[in-house]
Amino acid sequence: MPQLENALGGQRPLLAGTAEEMIQQYNALGAMLASQMPPPDASVSTTEEKIDNGVTLRIYKPKEAQDGKKLPVGVYTHGGGYICGNLDSEDPVCRALAHHVPCIIVSVDYRLGPQHKMPVMLDDTMAGYKWVHNLPLKHKFMTNGTQRPGSMPTHTEATNPSSFPLVALQGAGSPWPWLTNVSRRDLVRIYKVLSP
């Protein structure tokens, strides 16, 4: 976050006002950050899938997956305090994770408040995780993201172990440090933990 704060004149971005005003501020900040990002990594392909309740999943596959290599699969949930964000707001992060780990990332575009009330966001995230779990793949799974729903599958595993396979790794945090502060060595270490 220090790079972002420096770019904003030493100010930490804080959202304030009504939910609608915070959504506008979040979108403006996202647009400013997106304008500074390099073009999308062409080596990572994407497809989209509609699941329960019209929730969209965006699947990121690095070159290794396109070549048939067995890779871990991560279920990713974007940030935004349950009222902001979407698949596009953290697209660069998902592409970077898919490319550098390498792994398949499935990003969940869960429904947002205030139009939808809790626990809809968590339910949508669980629906995404179940969709991945039901694929005919025998890969290791992880949850990741910058929003709390990323931890929901881990909670489910802890409270009902027969529901899902063990989540191999859970990561969370600001998307921008992933792009700027995580070393290649750290990504290789994550990959080794998740490798089949």
- For residue range 169-179, list pLDDT tens digits in order: 444 444 433 33
Strands (E), 110-193: 141-145, 167-172
Q: Are 149 and 121 in contact (CB under 8 A)?
A: yes
pLDDT one-digit tens code per residue, 38-62: 888 889 999 999 998 899 999 999 9
Say if residue 110's pLDDT is above 90.
Answer: yes
pLDDT at 121 over 80: yes
Q: Are 15 and 44 in contact (CB under 8 A)?
A: no
Q: Which residues constitute the domain of residue 114?
A: 42-194
Task: Tell me the C-alpha distance between 101 and 103, whole Å.
Answer: 6
User: What's the whole-number average pLDDT of the chain?
Assistant: 75
pLDDT of residue 188: 47
CATH code (residue 145): 3.40.50.1820
Q: pTM for this structure?
A: 0.76
Instruction: Please check whether residue 1 lies inside any domain of the structure.
Output: no
57 forms beta bridges with 49, 108
pLDDT reported for residue 63: 92
- Per the domain annotation, does 112 fall within a domain? yes
Number of domains in the chain: 1
d(CA 103, CA 8): 33
Instruction: Give mean pLDDT, residues 75-89.
Output: 87
What is the number of residues in the chain? 196
